[in-house]
Amino acid sequence: MPTAGDTFITTLKRAHLEWGAHRYTSSRGTVYGEGYLQIPRREARHIGIYNSNHPYARYTFNCSSVDGFLQNVTLKASGCSRAGDAYAKQFQGSGNLKLLGDWFNYVGAQIGDKVRISWISPTDIEIEKI
């Protein structure tokens, strides 16, 4: 489980910035403005970032951004690299898949930019475009 002081950096790709439009699946229609933050597998294992497949893990976190655009919103650790895996592969807005897309737009995020995700406490994270 994450603890205060845990941190990792992820690099933005087109799929992260255009999640609802740049897709390799036809499971649903195009939705512009969605975004997510990738959680590298090694970081998920090292920090203990789980999805809802783990029966006792926390997978929602309070999140604020260093720039002040996001303040105490809820991010959900979700997805997995193979069916049933308990390690999360992304952060997304909980109930709002456009939450991070709006933040990407606010900070002018582009492909190749880096985002630092830091735990302030076991339940609170802070994100920053660096």
Given a cut of 50, the residues of the chain with pLDDT beneath it are: 21
Residues 36 and 42 sit within 8 Å (Cβ to Cβ): no
pLDDT at position 1:
85
Residues 33 and 19 sit within 8 Å (Cβ to Cβ): no
CA distance 41 to 33: 25
Domain count across the chain: 1
User: Would residue 70 count as lying in a domain?
Assistant: yes
| pTM for this entry | 0.85
pLDDT digits (tens, 9 = 90+) for 40-51: 999 999 999 998
CA distance 89 to 39: 5
User: Would residue 107 count as lying in a domain?
Assistant: yes
User: Would residue 62 count as lying in a domain?
Assistant: yes
CATH number of the domain to which 92 belongs:
2.40.330.10
* Displacement of CA 73 from its chain's centroid (Å): 12
User: Would residue 2 count as lying in a domain?
Assistant: no
Token couple for 75: 């991010």
User: Would residue 1 count as lying in a domain?
Assistant: no
User: Would residue 61 count as lying in a domain?
Assistant: yes
Token couple for 118: 């830091």
CA distance 23 to 46: 28
Q: Which domain holds residue 78?
A: 7-129
pLDDT at position 67:
98
Nearest Cα neighbor of 90 from 50, 48, 52, 39 is 39
